[in-house]
């Protein structure tokens, strides 16, 4: 019950929303880079919001299923194929025993998520199924997936998903090569000169090749400090933008360290973190300041929008009325009727 | 308590005490953390106390910045006592020098002291654990004797084995797991300060103290064997703060 990994892809790991509650002991939160896409992938399957999924980076894996289940992909467009036929992102897909899912290379974005209706069977370590690569903790054996791995699923089968044909959402086209990233200034903006802050807010920065799960270094004009950027080490929030002595901003992502000793000029608004996580090398970004109150209002609006998407996939769809189309889409269900019919 | 509260993004806020590395400030911070924990404020997701600041991470859909700002400000106005506790001192056995501490000669040379003298100084006092961070269980210790402050290596090592005890500038500490690093290595402990298999993977807590106790190579091997068999317990003492 599960799937075999035929190819591991560039960096495919088991992730959920991360490991909180242990940062005071030095355990980083980790978890998914793009929370929004991760949530949508699970939502398409009615999975619990924080159910572990696979995070693929730039080049996805190839998986062979050993039992039937329903999967969904969301995030950057990785041009997935099932048995050499293109399948849609942002759509619930029924897979049978022996089916091979090939997740290609990213056409847009840099990561995507594969959610599974039967849930990945990996142990919970310190409250999370996320893979902490540095400690070899959590996820599948604490490491990235490799060819030959066999991942089991936790349950044998799920009830047939209601409104199966409605479970499709439009592809998210991540902004072109230039994006506006909203930030909340501080907490250490007083460490920077007026000129330094002006540089940060008026310049275009380019995503460098130094981009991993820990953070992304941006190339662009030097940000001036008053007296250097060393501070007495303190805690680091998701999306904090540090400026070390080289004067170039570094945005800290999922696998950031818990604490650090460089001044943080600003922190990326939560709603814009997916946008940043999906940037590619040489893409450009600009930073625009907003207040913490505005940022929290944006979070509430995004939540309402996700609720709207959820209700959209829980309504009967028009396609049901078109016999030919319906027949085509439920064909695979019929073929493997033993697994799902009547359940 | 004098403090400053600043937003660190839209899902965390930073509480700053006086920005200085001092045991009394760190103790007040620990007291504040304890009070915040006791209040069980809905929406708080995690707390990261450091030397003299506290990062409070929260779910903004449950509690807003403005509300949390008020709550923490009022907690800070409470009478915070730090004098009532007893400290825990962890006695960490360390085999100094030789293969375990390849940089001990360099540390001694830099200090203009004999190796024995360096070991005597290093193991001669209790170190306050100001905070944990960087790696799981990595301790930021205060109070290293100035005579043995030693600059970091010019080129960091690619792999420092777990248990290594070293000096980096004015700091000393134990590497909880294999890791790259630039500290000068003076010895090794057979004790696992981080063990993912243990109920509490991290041995020590911020606010505790560490005392390094010199042991021989033979004792190292004995303790290591006992640790592997799950039959070793680190000695702790209680002291007055």
> Residue B241's pLDDT is what?
52
Rounded to an integer, what distance in angstroms lies between the CA atom of residue A72 and that of residue A89? 7
Instruction: Kindly list the residues from chain B whose CB atom is less than 8 angstroms away from the CB atom of residue A270.
Output: 9-11, 60
pLDDT, averaged across chain A: 92
Does residue A193 belong to the interface with chain B, where contact is any CB pair within 8 Å?
no
Position B46 in a domain: yes
Query: How buried is residue A323: exposed, middle or buried, by Cβ count under 10 Å (0-12/13-18/19+)?
Result: exposed
Asked if residue B125 and residue B203 are part of one domain, the reply reads yes
Instruction: Kindly list the residues from chain B whose CB atom is less than 8 angstroms away from the CB atom of residue A26.
Output: 132-138, 176, 202
In this complex, do A24 and B46 lie within 8 Å of one another by their Cβ atoms? yes
Nearby residues of B182 by Cβ (< 8 Å), 6 or more positions away:
B152, B153, B155, B156, B157, B168
Q: To the nearest whole angstrom, how far is the Cα of B114 from the nearest Cα of chain A?
A: 33
- For residues A110 and A60, the answer to whether their CB atoms sit within 8 Å is no
Q: What is the mean pLDDT of residues A211-221?
A: 96
Position B9 in a domain: yes
Report the percent of chain A where pLDDT is more than 70.
92
Asked if residue B142 and residue B45 are part of one domain, the reply reads no
Instruction: Kindly list the residues from chain B whose CB atom is less than 8 angstroms away from the CB atom of residue A235.
Output: 8, 12, 14, 48-50, 53-55
The H or E element that residue A334 is part of is helix A323-335
Position B110 in a domain: yes
Asked if residue B162 and residue B130 are part of one domain, the reply reads yes
Instruction: Kindly list the residues from chain B whose CB atom is less than 8 angstroms away from the CB atom of residue A29.
Output: 46
For B6-64, the pLDDT digits (tens) are 999 999 999 999 999 899 999 999 999 999 999 999 999 999 999 999 999 999 999 99
> Residue A156's pLDDT is what?
73
> Residue A302's pLDDT is what?
97
User: Strand pairing of B86-96 and B235-240?
Assistant: antiparallel
- Taking chain A, what is the end-to-end CA distance rounded to the nearest angstrom? 18
Asked if residue B122 and residue B180 are part of one domain, the reply reads yes
> In CATH, what number is assigned to the domain containing residue B39?
3.30.1360.40
Longest dimension (CA), chain A: 71
Give bridge partners of residue A264 from the DSSP assignment: A242
> Residue A343's pLDDT is what?
37
Rounded to an integer, what distance in angstroms lies between the CA atom of residue A212 and that of residue A259? 18
pLDDT value at B81 more than 90? no
Asked if residue B66 and residue B91 are part of one domain, the reply reads no
> Residue B153's pLDDT is what?
86
- For residues B92 and B189, the answer to whether their CB atoms sit within 8 Å is yes
Asked if residue B221 and residue B107 are part of one domain, the reply reads yes
Asked if residue B228 and residue B126 are part of one domain, the reply reads yes
pLDDT value at A338 more than 60? no
A108, A220, A278 from A177: Cα distances, Å = 10, 15, 11
Asked if residue B182 and residue B112 are part of one domain, the reply reads yes
Residue in chain A closest to B37 (alpha carbons) equals A21
- For residues B148 and B112, the answer to whether their CB atoms sit within 8 Å is no
Give bridge partners of residue A57 from the DSSP assignment: A59, A111
Q: What is the mean pLDDT of residues A253-258?
A: 95
More confident position, A268 or A339: A268
Domain end among B76, B99, B123: B76
Instruction: Kindly list the residues from chain A whose CB atom is less than 8 angstroms away from the CB atom of residue B9.
Output: 184, 237-240, 267-270, 292, 295
Directed axis angle between helix A292-312 and helix A35-43, to 10°?
Answer: 20
Q: Mean pLDDT lowest for which of A44-53, A151-160, B132-141?
A: A151-160
In this complex, do B133 and A239 lie within 8 Å of one another by their Cβ atoms? no
Best to test chain A binding among B3, B4, B10 (most A CBs inside 10 Å) = B10
For A262-273, the pLDDT digits (tens) are 999 999 999 999
Does residue A297 belong to the interface with chain B, where contact is any CB pair within 8 Å?
no
Domain count, chain B: 2
Instruction: Kindly list the residues from chain B whose CB atom is less than 8 angstroms away from the CB atom of residue A268.
Output: 9
In this complex, do A232 and B20 lie within 8 Å of one another by their Cβ atoms? yes
Rounded to an integer, what distance in angstroms lies between the CA atom of residue A122 and that of residue B59? 26
Name the residue among B181, B186, B139, B140 with its Cα closest to residue B160.
B181
More confident position, B87 or A69: A69
For A291-300, the pLDDT digits (tens) are 999 999 999 9
pLDDT value at B147 more than 70? yes
Best to test chain A binding among B8, B15, B52, B202 (most A CBs inside 10 Å) = B8
CA dihedral A309, A314, A316, A318 (to 10 degrees): 20
Model confidence at A165, pLDDT cuts 50, 70, 90, reads confident
Of A27, A238, A296, the CB nearest to B136: A27
The domains located in chain A, with CATH, are 2-169+319-340 (no CATH), 178-297 (2.40.100.10)
Domain end among B30, B57, B76: B76
A168, B90, B145 from B87: Cα distances, Å = 58, 10, 21
Q: To the nearest whole angstrom, how far is the Cα of B31 from the nearest Cα of chain A?
A: 15
Most confident of A143-157, B92-106, B170-184: B92-106
Asked if residue B91 and residue B182 are part of one domain, the reply reads yes
Q: What is the mean pLDDT of residues A205-213?
A: 95
Position B20 in a domain: yes
Name the residue among A3, A149, A10, A121 with its Cα closest to residue A65.
A3
Of A236, A269, A299, the CB nearest to B61: A299
pLDDT value at A283 more than 50? yes
- For residues B123 and B212, the answer to whether their CB atoms sit within 8 Å is yes
Give the predicted TM-score (pTM) of the model.
0.90
Nearby residues of B44 by Cβ (< 8 Å), 6 or more positions away:
B36, B56, B57, B58, B63, B68
Domain housing B57 = 4-76
Position B81 in a domain: no
In this complex, do B48 and A234 lie within 8 Å of one another by their Cβ atoms? yes
Asked if residue B192 and residue B93 are part of one domain, the reply reads yes
In this complex, do B9 and A237 lie within 8 Å of one another by their Cβ atoms? yes
Within B94-239, residue ranges assigned H as helices are 104-111, 115-122, 217-228
Report the percent of chain B where pLDDT is more than 70.
97
Asked if residue B210 and residue B110 are part of one domain, the reply reads yes
For A27-62, the pLDDT digits (tens) are 999 999 999 999 999 999 999 999 999 999 999 999
Rounded to an integer, what distance in angstroms lies between the CA atom of residue A287 and that of residue A197? 11
Domain end among B27, B49, B76: B76
pLDDT value at A339 more than 70? no
> In CATH, what number is assigned to the domain containing residue B182?
2.40.100.10
Asked if residue B173 and residue B221 are part of one domain, the reply reads yes
User: Strand pairing of B127-132 and B209-214?
Assistant: antiparallel
Q: Helix, strand, or coil here: A199?
A: helix
Model confidence at A342, pLDDT cuts 50, 70, 90, reads very low
Within A7-47, residue ranges assigned H as helices are 35-43
Of B10, B20, B45, the CB nearest to A296: B10
């Amino acid at each position: 019950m599960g799937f075999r990994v035929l190819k591991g892809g560039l960096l495919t790991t088991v992730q959920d929303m991360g490991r909180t509650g242990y940062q005071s002991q030095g355990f980083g939160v980790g978890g998914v880079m793009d929370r929004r896409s991760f949530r949508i992938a699970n939502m398409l399957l009615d999975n619990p919001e924080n159910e572990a999924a696979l995070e693929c980076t730039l080049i996805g894996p190839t998986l062979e299923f050993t039992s039937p289940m329903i999967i969904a992909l969301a995030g950057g467009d990785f041009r997935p194929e099932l048995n050499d036929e293109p399948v849609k992102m942002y759509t619930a897909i029924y897979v049978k025993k022996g089916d091979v899912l090939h997740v290609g290379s990213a056409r847009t974005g840099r990561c995507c998520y594969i959610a599974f209706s039967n849930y990945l069977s990996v142990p919970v370590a310190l409250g999370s199924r996320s893979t902490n690569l540095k400690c070899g903790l959590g996820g599948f054996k604490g490491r990235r997936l490799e060819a030959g791995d066999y991942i089991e699923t936790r349950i044998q089968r799920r009830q047939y998903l209601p409104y199966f044909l409605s479970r499709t959402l439009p592809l998210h086209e991540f902004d072109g090569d230039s994006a506006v990233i909203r930030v909340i200034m501080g907490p250490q903006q007083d460490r920077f000169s007026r000129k330094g802050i002006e540089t940060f807010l008026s310049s275009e920065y380019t995503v460098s090749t130094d981009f991993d799960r820990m953070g992304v270094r941006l190339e662009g004009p030097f940000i001036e400090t008053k007296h250097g950027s060393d501070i007495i080490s303190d805690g680091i929030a998701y999306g904090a933008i540090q400026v070390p002595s080289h004067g170039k901003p570094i945005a800290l992502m999922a696998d950031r360290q818990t604490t650090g000793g460089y001044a943080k000029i600003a922190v990326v608004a939560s709603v814009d973190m997916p946008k940043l996580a999906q940037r590619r090398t040489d893409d450009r970004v600009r930073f625009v300041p907003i207040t913490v109150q505005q940022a929290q209002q944006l979070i509430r609006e995004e939540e309402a929008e996700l609720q709207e998407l959820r209700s959209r996939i829980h309504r009967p769809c028009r396609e049901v009325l078109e016999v030919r189309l319906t027949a085509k889409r439920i064909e695979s269900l019929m073929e493997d009727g033993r697994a799902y019919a009547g359940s | 308590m004098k403090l400053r509260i600043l937003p660190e993004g839209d899902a965390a806020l930073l509480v700053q005490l006086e920005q200085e590395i001092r045991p009394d400030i760190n103790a007040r911070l620990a007291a504040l953390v304890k009070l915040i924990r006791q209040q069980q404020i809905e929406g708080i997701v995690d707390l990261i106390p450091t030397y003299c600041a506290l990062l409070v991470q929260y779910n903004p859909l449950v509690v807003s910045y403005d509300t949390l700002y008020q709550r923490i400000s009022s907690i800070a106005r409470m009478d915070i006592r730090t004098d009532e506790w007893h400290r825990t001192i962890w006695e960490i056995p360390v085999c100094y020098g030789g293969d375990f501490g390849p940089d001990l000669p360099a540390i001694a040379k830099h200090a203009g002291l004999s190796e024995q003298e360096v070991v005597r100084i290093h193991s001669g006092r209790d170190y306050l654990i100001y905070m944990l961070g960087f790696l799981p269980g990595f301790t930021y210790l205060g109070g290293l004797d100035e005579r043995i402050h030693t600059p970091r290596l010019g080129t960091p090592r690619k792999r420092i084995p777990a248990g290594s005890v070293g000096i980096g500038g004015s700091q000393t500490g134990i590497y909880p797991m294999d890791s790259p690093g630039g500290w000068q290595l003076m010895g090794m402990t057979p004790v696992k300060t981080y063990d993912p298999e243990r109920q509490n993977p991290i041995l020590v807590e911020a606010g505790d103290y560490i005392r390094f106790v010199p042991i021989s190579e033979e004792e190292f091997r004995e303790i290591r064997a006992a640790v592997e068999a799950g039959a070793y317990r680190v000695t702790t003492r209680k002291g007055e703060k």
